A = this chain, B = another copy of it.
Amino acid sequence: MTAHERSFHLGAFIWGVGHHGAAWRHPDTDLKGFTDFNFYKQIAEKAEAAKFDMIFFADRLAISDRYENRFDATLTFIPPVRLEPVSLLGALGAVTEKIGLAATASTSYNEPFTLARKFASLDHLTEGRIAWNIVTSTNDGEALNHNREQHFEHSERYARAKEFLEVVTSLWDSWEDDAIVLDQETPLFADPKKVHYLDHEGEWFQVRGPLNIPRPPQGHPIKIQAGSSPTGRDFAAASADVIFTAQPTLEKAQDFYQDIQQRLIKAGRPQGSLKIMPGVMPIIGSTPQEAKEKADYLEQLVDPIAGLALLSDSMNHDLSQYPLDGPLPPLTEIRGNQSRFKLVQALAEKEQLTLRDLGKRFGGTRSHRLLIGTPEEIAVNLQTWFLSEAADGFNIMPPYLPGGFTEFTDEVVPILQDLGLFRQDYHGSTLRDHLGLAKPANKFLQQKTV
């Protein structure tokens, strides 16, 4: 179906000292990583040397404490601390040259003017290498840190996110690319006809504009979205450049990929203008047996309570009230990350898991795909997914850091390059260049020419 030329992309998706729930208990993990900048600097340099499109930082705005209504399980098992990613991007931008830098920020707990400025500023600082992972936040703990009792309901948070994004992109467009004149003699700093008020008066926001920063080098920093519900998919199809998604099997990933292509067409956008990059946690061994042993070793470090604490938080529902050796109770309606819950529910049913089993499973991978094998097996698996139109690339979720990532860059990336799948070097300088995405038109310029 895809007439355009497809290209293969890689993101390094970084979460604390590793994505695996037991990362911090692994002897090869660098525990300085919770707060030490040099830890992140080394990973970014490694990702850049391997020609990754981007390095991508997740975020959370609270410490999980739904399980037993206190944070003891979290503080015991699941390190809840990490550096704030938007601050981190600026620092990493100063010590890298080519790689894209992505950070998560919530539309529920920020102001559009503030967020537009920060990402525009970072895009200037890095000369066009920034991406924003747009999340709506689904967790009551986060709400409680921001003047609310509960998080926004699903339809509310998408309505707010849509308007938020509209304001942010308008602010980015409020200076035309050539607005700055810099005539020191006349004088004329900028052409007032090329700078625009928004006068936005919406349901959620009143923002006059213009932004007090010139248009970002990429026009708009890259927009990443991870919504999986129909509303979330439509939102991504209408406005995102990259989709980050959890897809457990090739078939489900293909269905998702096709579904997004349909929605993209409906949204009037061209093929190839939205890159779908599922998450995958690779566990790499020199033999299949060694890989399996590494995975088993990590799994036995996971306490079931760690996973149940995370899952309780994700569902906004305390699972400590049910017997550990019983099944996941038949909860029909949850407030929270419903797509993730459905994945978990399907898994529990299919494999007849007890809560204890489920805690162990979720505590390790948080429902993302685990890919265990030799470098060759892993490279071929990724190639198959790409060629089967299940993915345009992958967000690599290293189980522990830095070793769990450098194994991938040192052993898997060269094979992907030999297969002719992945770039040998960067060909452009911005993240848009790496992703093969065009600079967006300026909406104020479009209004002028109409």
Interface positions of A (Cβ within 8 A of B): 24-25, 27, 31, 34-37, 41, 60-63, 70-72, 75-84, 86-95, 109-111, 113-114, 117-118, 120-122, 124-126, 141, 144-148, 175, 180, 182, 184, 187-192, 195, 205-210, 212-214, 303
Contact = CB atoms under 8 A, between A and B. Distances in A.
B90 A89 contact: yes
B25 A184 contact: yes
A60 B212 contact: yes
A35 B212 CA distance: 11
A121 B75 contact: no
A-B pairs, 4 with minimum CB distance: A90-B90, A84-B121, A144-B208, A94-B94
Nearest to A60: B212
A147 B205 contact: yes
Nearest to A175: B81
A75 B190 contact: yes
A174 to B, nearest CB: 9
Contacts of A122: 87
A164 to B, nearest CB: 12
Given A94-B95, A125-B91, A303 B187 contact: yes
Contacts of A71: 192, 195, 210
A175 B63 CA distance: 12
Nearest to A22: B187
A192 B88 contact: no
A325 B86 CA distance: 49
Given A41-B94, A91-B94, A94-B95, A83 B207 contact: no
Nearest to A92: B94
Contact of A187 (B63, B77, B83, B146): B77
Given A37-B125, A75-B195, A94-B94, A118 B87 contact: yes
B125 A87 contact: yes
A35, A41, A80, A92 — which one has the most chain B CB atoms within 10 A of its CB?
Answer: A35
